[in-house]
């Protein structure tokens, strides 16, 4: 086996646009029917939670090529091959913060502002790169040993 076998289940741009528009419409309908107050903090909280879940999916089982102290010693604070996985979660959080600010200042238009912020948030989350297949095949990282191997040194042989 020369590479990990990941199925190509990427989401196309048109599908991510349709799904995000549908979630935005559902959000608008829920807000209008509940007749509640604007909740800009909920938009930001969802953005942080969604970015965390995406980061965990991409970074579970992998580590950077070298540690923080290695980055400082080599004066390479940014590793483009590894740090590119943080761009989409960072963009999701920034969109969530901007959406929260817009909802806070929307006044009576807060249902439209919240649903638009949710739509843009989902679109960035679904269409942001890299794809999981691209990340697993070309990302510059090290695989972390599984807990079963770390806990049982008898499974490791000297080479």
pLDDT tens for each residue of 110-128: 999 999 999 999 999 999 9
Residue 158 covered by a domain: no
Cβ proximity of 158 and 77 under 8 Å: no
Q: Which domain holds residue 78?
A: 13-26+39-144
Residue 20 to residue 121: CA distance in whole angstroms: 8
Residue 49 covered by a domain: yes
Residue 115 covered by a domain: yes
| CA dist 31 → 77, 121, 143, 148 (Å) | 43, 17, 44, 47
Q: Give the largest Cα separation in the chain, rounded.
A: 69
Q: Using CA atoms in the order 108, 24, 90, 97, what is the torsion angle rounded to 10 degrees?
A: 10
Residue 152 covered by a domain: no
pTM of the model: 0.81
| Domain count within the chain | 1
What pLDDT was estimated at residue 5?
A: 65
Cβ proximity of 33 and 115 under 8 Å: no
Residue 157 covered by a domain: no
Residue 154 covered by a domain: no
Does the pLDDT value for residue 148 go beyond 80?
no
- In three-state secondary structure terms, 62 is strand
Residue 130 to residue 2: CA distance in whole angstroms: 21
What pLDDT was estimated at residue 7?
A: 64
pLDDT tens digits, one per residue of 20-75: 999 999 999 999 999 888 888 999 999 999 999 999 988 888 888 888 898 899 88
């Amino acid at each position: 086996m020369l590479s990990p076998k990941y199925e190509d289940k990427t989401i196309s741009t048109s599908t991510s646009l349709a799904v995000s528009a549908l979630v935005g419409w559902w959000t608008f309908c829920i807000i209008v029917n509940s007749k509640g107050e604007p909740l800009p903090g909920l938009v930001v909280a969802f953005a942080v939670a969604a970015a965390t879940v995406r980061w965990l999916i991409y970074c579970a089982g992998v580590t950077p090529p070298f540690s923080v102290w290695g980055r400082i010693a080599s004066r390479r604070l940014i590793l483009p091959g590894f740090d590119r996985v943080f761009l989409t979660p960072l963009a999701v959080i920034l969109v969530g913060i901007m959406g929260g600010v817009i909802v806070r200042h929307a006044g009576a238009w807060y249902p439209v502002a919240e649903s638009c912020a949710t739509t843009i948030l989902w679109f960035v989350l679904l269409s942001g790169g890299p794809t999981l297949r691209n990340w697993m095949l070309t990302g510059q990282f090290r695989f972390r040993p599984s807990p079963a191997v770390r806990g049982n040194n008898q499974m490791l042989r000297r080479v």
